[in-house]
A and B are shown apart, each in its own frame.
Chain A
Amino acid sequence: MATHARGLTGAAAGAPTAPAVVVRDLVRSYGTGAGVLDGLDLEIGRGEFVAILGRSGSGKSTLLRALAGLDHDVPGTGTVDVPRNVSVVFQDSRLLPWARVLDNVVLGHEAPPVQARAAGIAALAEVGLAGRERAWPNELSGGEQQRVSLARSLARSPELLLADEPFGALDALTRLRMHDLLRDLLRRHHPTVLMVTHDVDEAIVLADRVVVLDKGRIALERRTPQGVARPGTHTSTHATLRAELLDALGLDAGTGTTTGTTTDRKDTP
């Protein structure tokens, strides 16, 4: 299976490869309060897909921004080792409103302009937006904008893809479509992925491994069915995994519906 070819399972087949991401003893705190991240350790294998869950305010975005190198002025210590070629997908599509879709996709692309544009056009076609190259971002729907933002990330073939609730602003149906699209894209591009999400089911169906963040540390870590090395050896099914994760998040598993369970941002204690 293509998904099994990715991830740590590669290590089982051959010589162990160095992990793509290594975070050691990461501490980050805003101001004088207690650390938002408090000695966090995390390793992500090459090509592995890790999803982060956690209550609102648990420091997921803080971790992601530390990995992206965006937290210039946030005090803290620890080491973060990431590949050179990192790409970030934000919750908002973050397209420059004054640049046309294709110009947004190729902005900052390393290749010479002609190749960059070709890569951009190909990436737009991959996300199903062929022919919209000359549109303004304002003219696209929310889901289309987020697809452009995916295309922008993929056009530069990142070794590490960081995504902070990339589908958080989308409706359930569009979100399911985006899951298929993302799976499809990852199968072809094989980046290492770290994705923050509020949706437990999204985490389970997309990721190889799910990590729950609490009090600035990793509180729970589980492989998902597709992340387990040999099919058949894992014991946790989607349902038991889901119950376990919801429990770790402080939610009663019985209260969630079977699809699209999200950890509610406001009501979570």
Chain B
Amino acid sequence: MTAVVQDRRPAPARTAAPPADVRPRVRRLGLRPPVPLAAGSGVALLLVVWAVGSATGLIDPRVLSAPWTVVTTGVDLAVDGRLVENLAVSLGRAAQGLVWGVLAGVLLALLSGLSRLGEALLDGPIQVKRAVPNLALLPLLILWFGIGEEMKVVTIALGVFIPVYIHTHNGLRSIDKRYVELAETLRLDRRRFVAHVVLPGALPGFLLGLRFAVTGSLLALVVVEQVNGTAGIGYMMELARTYGQTEVIVVGLVVYGVLGYTADRAVRLLQRRALSWRRTLED
């Protein structure tokens, strides 16, 4: 593409002039069409700064290992199987916690969103739970569930269900009253009302909650895996700390980062697919 083709002003008159494209000038307030691959540029920039810092010696390798050290360490860890093994354990935990947390969040949001009784009984305690950090609950959860897998999954689920609940509940309560009236005149039973009006109407809120939930589940991993872990990325990092292996710690961090980033991209992709009927600033 040459600059001339993109220029919207009429080109000077010539014999073989391109077809005119003269439009009124209106200041664009919406977004331009997305540029392919541009989404990754922020992360790429960060990597460049890190690499340059390490190469020039501005970043002390004892404080933060160079990217190539991290890559080779990562490859070594992957080859001897420790990384894959720990990653599988961590992902399994996060996924389990995520599934239970999302189910609980949606179910509670429906119960408290669709009935005054449910609201009276559920919303208060959930807001109280929301005000208590997960870290503060951990000692209690360890007493209740021990230091095994159960405690870890429960802790992750407890962190996950909050954003799912809040955003699903909010999305549900923001459904236009006119659609509720429509459902009434169509004589929908409660099941169909939930399936065709409530759930799709609350879907944008739910998906936003899911984005928080997915990253939240990975964050919770860090906390629970440093408690008496025997496997998992967090355990691997904890072990590395005792041996002073900075590069292993950084590999763990990078894995967390990559996981979180990919998971978020995946949910956003899902969001676009599921909400294709919407015409918003995004499109």
Q: What residues make up the interface of A, taking CB atoms closer than 8 Å to B?
A: 68-70, 86-88, 90, 92, 94, 96-99, 107-108, 136-138
Given A69-B184, A108-B188 in contact, is the A94-B178 Cβ separation under 8 Å? yes
Dominant secondary structure at the B interface: helix
Quick check: is B185 within 8 A (CB to CB) of the other chain?
yes
- Residues facing A in B162-188 (CB within 8 A) are 178-179, 181-188
Assuming A90-B182, A99-B196, what are 12 further A-B pairs, CB within 8 angstroms? A70-B181, A88-B185, A94-B179, A94-B182, A96-B179, A96-B182, A96-B197, A98-B200, A98-B275, A107-B186, A108-B187, A138-B279
Interface size, B (range): 20 to 34
On chain A, the residues within 8 Å of B178 by CB distance are 90, 92, 94
Q: 16 A-B Cβ contacts within 8 A?
A: A68-B185, A70-B184, A70-B185, A86-B185, A88-B185, A90-B178, A90-B182, A92-B178, A96-B179, A96-B196, A96-B200, A97-B278, A98-B200, A98-B277, A99-B196, A107-B186
Dominant secondary structure at the A interface: loop
Q: Which residue in A69, A108, A137 is a CB contact (below 8 Å) of B183?
A: A108
Q: Distance in Å from the Cβ of A210 to the closest Cβ of chain B? A: 24
Q: Which residue in B185, B187, B188, B201 is a CB contact (below 8 Å) of A98?
A: B201
B260-283 CB mask vs A (1 if < 8 Å, else 0) is: 000000000000000101110000
Which residue of chain B has its CB nearest to the CB of A162?
Answer: B185
Q: Distance in Å from the Cβ of B278 to the closest Cβ of chain A? A: 7
A107 to B182, CA, bound (A): 10
A99 to B201, CA, bound (A): 10
A86 to B184, CA, bound (A): 11
Interface centre among B186, B201, B275 (most CB of A within 10 A): B186
Which residue of chain A has its CB nearest to the CB of B275?
Answer: A98
On chain B, the residues within 8 Å of A108 by CB distance are 183, 186-188, 192
Q: Distance in Å from the Cβ of A96 to the closest Cβ of chain B? A: 6
Is the CB–CB distance between B277 and A97 below 8 Å? yes
Q: Distance in Å from the Cβ of A31 to the closest Cβ of chain B? A: 19
On chain B, the residues within 8 Å of A86 by CB distance are 185
Which residue of chain A has its CB nearest to the CB of B188?
Answer: A108
On chain B, the residues within 8 Å of A107 by CB distance are 186, 188, 192, 196
